[in-house]
Amino acid sequence: MVLDPQFIWNGIVVGSIISVSALGLTLIFGILNFINIAYGDYMATGAYLAFALNAQIGLPLGVAIVAGVAGMAAGAVLIDKLVFEHFRTSSPVTLLIVSIGVAFFIRNLIRAIWGPTGNFYDVPIEANPNLFGVRYSVEQLSIIVASLLLLTAVYVLLRRTRIGIAMRAASDDRTLTRIRGVDTERLVLYVWIAGGAIAGLGGIMLGLDAQIRPNMGFTALIPIFAATILGGIGDPKGAVAGGFAIGILQEVSVVVVPSEYKFAVALAALIVGLLLRPDGLFGEATR
């Protein structure tokens, strides 16, 4: 059996979306130390904001995307002020449960505003070009380019800037970061801005690749969590590597298992990964 390169291409597209999304989730976890279940619904919110501005109001897609990303960044900060900030000293489990409440609230708000059916961005419908037997769309190419740009930008931020180094420090040891003079509440603000923006972008990419639905983000959480945990939760480069691994594996698996079982493949990869490397891809070898 020869592997059709189309599946690899699809895997790279899906992997790009998962990588970007997993990166945002892992950044938030790194500083705030809880798993934000509402993250998938942040993604959906970004997708719907861009949809409203593009398909409903008629703005060009590029403008709608920038506004959707910015809107979700602001939204993440707002949700923190309204909800999460009040639970700063609570246990991660409490925060996880609170975030489930936030997730339900956002998802139903989206359903109330935009209805339960699927929507699409206003993009020109063209026959997909074909290169070496691989069909690709302009949207898919844009998704890959945008993810690479974003991943590079975040890498530079975390490695080269003072704030980025402090973010990594805080994700390592928050008390010690405060001892060194960093106002970690300020870092939390920056992380919500970055995490919210990245979630929004991930959601828009997902909407471009498939369709915009109220539960799009929630469904996408399974492979995103798989990528985040596989990469070692809180480790940005792990999340990116995990994202591409899960994305490609998931799409290529279609060759052998029915496509309804894609998510099962993501979970299987996660379980095998955790058995072999409990601290994540780049963590210390088995403890």
Helices and strands in the chain, H and E counts: 11, 2
Please work out, in degrees rounded to the nearest 5, the angle formed at the alpha carbon of residue 188 by the alpha carbons of 182 and 190: 95
Q: How many angstroms separate the CA atoms of 216 and 210, rounded?
A: 9
CB of 105 to another protein, least distance (A): 32
Query: Is the Cβ of residue 134 or residue 283 nearer to another protein in the bound state?
Result: 283
173 is a site residue for another protein (CB under 8 A): yes
| Residue from the set 124, 175, 258, 287 that interacts with another protein by CB under 8 A | 175
Query: Is the Cβ of residue 166 or residue 194 nearer to another protein in the bound state?
Result: 166
CB of 228 to another protein, least distance (A): 17
Contact present, 190 and 163 (Cβ < 8 Å): yes
Identify any residues that bridge with 119 across adjacent strands, giving them in sequence order: 212
Stretch that binds another protein, among 48-56, 81-89, 113-121, 167-175 (CB under 8 A): 167-175
| Residue from the set 177, 228, 250, 253 that interacts with another protein by CB under 8 A | 177
Residue 212 phi, psi dihedral angles, 5° rounding: -95, 115
CB of 88 to another protein, least distance (A): 13
In terms of C-beta density within 10 A (0-12 exposed, 13-18 middle, 19 or more buried), how is residue 286 classed? exposed
169 is a site residue for another protein (CB under 8 A): yes
86 is a site residue for another protein (CB under 8 A): no
Residues of span 205-264 touching another protein by CB under 8 A: none
85 is a site residue for another protein (CB under 8 A): no
| Residue from the set 59, 134, 165, 210 that interacts with another protein by CB under 8 A | 165
| Residue from the set 133, 162, 256, 287 that interacts with another protein by CB under 8 A | 162
CB of 173 to another protein, least distance (A): 6
CB of 26 to another protein, least distance (A): 13
What is the x/- site pattern for another protein, positions 105-144, by CB under 8 A? ----------------------------------------
Q: How many angstroms separate the CA atoms of 95 and 193, rounded?
A: 19
33 is a site residue for another protein (CB under 8 A): no
Question: How many CA atoms lie within 13 Å of 137's alpha carbon, on the beta-carbon side?
Answer: 14
**Percentage helix, strand, coil, to 5, in the chain?**
75, 0, 25
The SS3 of residue 22 is helix
Stretch that binds another protein, among 48-56, 120-128, 158-166, 210-218 (CB under 8 A): 158-166
DSSP string, 29-52: HHHH-S--TTHHHHHHHHHHHHHI
In terms of C-beta density within 10 A (0-12 exposed, 13-18 middle, 19 or more buried), how is residue 238 classed? buried
Residue 131 phi, psi dihedral angles, 5° rounding: -130, 125
156 is a site residue for another protein (CB under 8 A): no
Chain residues that interact with another protein, rule: CB under 8 A = 162, 165-166, 168-169, 171-173, 175-184
